[in-house]
């Protein structure tokens, strides 16, 4: 904040900063939103801020490795008592059954497609080949969920501390009667806390199509 009202700093390290600046101007916010093209560790501001809003989450929540950048900005630029949005994170896993996917992507290679014995591909699928896309990202229907969800981790981004040696260890046992489990499905929720009621952004399969998938 400052004289004349609230001010927003938009931090973007990529060439998209120029596009964001044009979008800001097109919508009449050039005097309110200041786009800065720089990295998180090179950012310079005249004062600390009241709030940090960041879409740092990647597929499986952590794959884009941007959480460390957010926590750096929090510790360097957030005022005492300031707000981080989203504030809370929850990472889940649950057994998943998809006979159709398994048939089309694994069992397929044992059917001698077009009369060619392709069975060695089955071993490749479960080997260490760099070309095999594991984990598999997609929009998986909730009908395949089996057993019960298991909470792997839960963090408060206003206080959590991570170091190079930080590890998440989560033991689980999930009974799945009468269903074949073909894999484990992971998703995450993030929560925006607010006095009038929290808002949850979920990537659970039942949440429908969204950017992160599962």
**Whole-model pTM?**
0.81
> Strand 183-192 relative to strand 150-156: parallel, antiparallel, unpaired?
unpaired
Catalytic amino acids? 55, 64
Q: Which helix (H) or strand (E) holds 70?
A: helix 67-77
- Which residues, including other chains, have CB under 8 Å from residue 91's CB and lie 6 or more apart? 60, 61, 62, 151, 152, 153, 154, 186, 187, 188
Q: Which two tokens stand for residue 128?
A: 């260490």
pLDDT in single tens digits along all 214 residues of the chain: 444 447 889 988 899 999 999 999 999 999 899 998 988 888 898 899 999 999 998 877 877 778 888 999 999 999 999 999 999 999 999 999 998 888 888 878 788 888 888 888 777 766 555 555 567 788 899 999 998 999 999 999 999 888 777 777 888 888 888 888 888 999 999 999 999 999 999 999 998 878 888 7
* Contact by Cβ (8 Å): 153, 187: no
- 178 Rama sector, left if φ>0, alpha if ψ -120 to 50, beta otherwise: left
């Amino acid at each position: 904040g400052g004289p004349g009202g609230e001010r927003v700093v938009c931090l973007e390290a990529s060439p998209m900063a120029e596009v964001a600046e044009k979008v800001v101007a097109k919508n009449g916010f050039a005097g309110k939103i200041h786009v800065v093209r720089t990295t998180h560790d090179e950012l310079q501001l005249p004062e600390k801020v009241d709030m940090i809003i960041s879409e740092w989450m990647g597929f499986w929540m952590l794959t884009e490795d941007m959480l460390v950048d957010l926590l750096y900005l929090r510790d360097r630029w957030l005022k005492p008592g300031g707000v981080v949005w989203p504030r809370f994170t929850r990472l889940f896993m649950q057994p998943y059954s998809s006979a159709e996917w398994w048939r089309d992507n694994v069992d397929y290679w044992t059917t001698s497609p077009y009369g060619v014995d392709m069975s060695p591909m089955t071993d490749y699928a479960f080997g260490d080949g760099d070309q095999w896309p594991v984990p598999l990202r997609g929009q998986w229907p909730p009908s395949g969920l089996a057993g019960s969800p298991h909470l792997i981790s839960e963090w408060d981004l206003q206080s959590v501390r991570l170091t190079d040696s930080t590890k998440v260890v989560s033991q689980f046992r999930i009974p799945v009667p009468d269903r074949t489990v073909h894999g484990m499905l992971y998703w995450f929720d993030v929560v925006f806390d607010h006095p009038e009621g929290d808002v949850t952004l979920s990537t659970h399969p039942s949440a429908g199509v969204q950017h992160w998938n599962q």
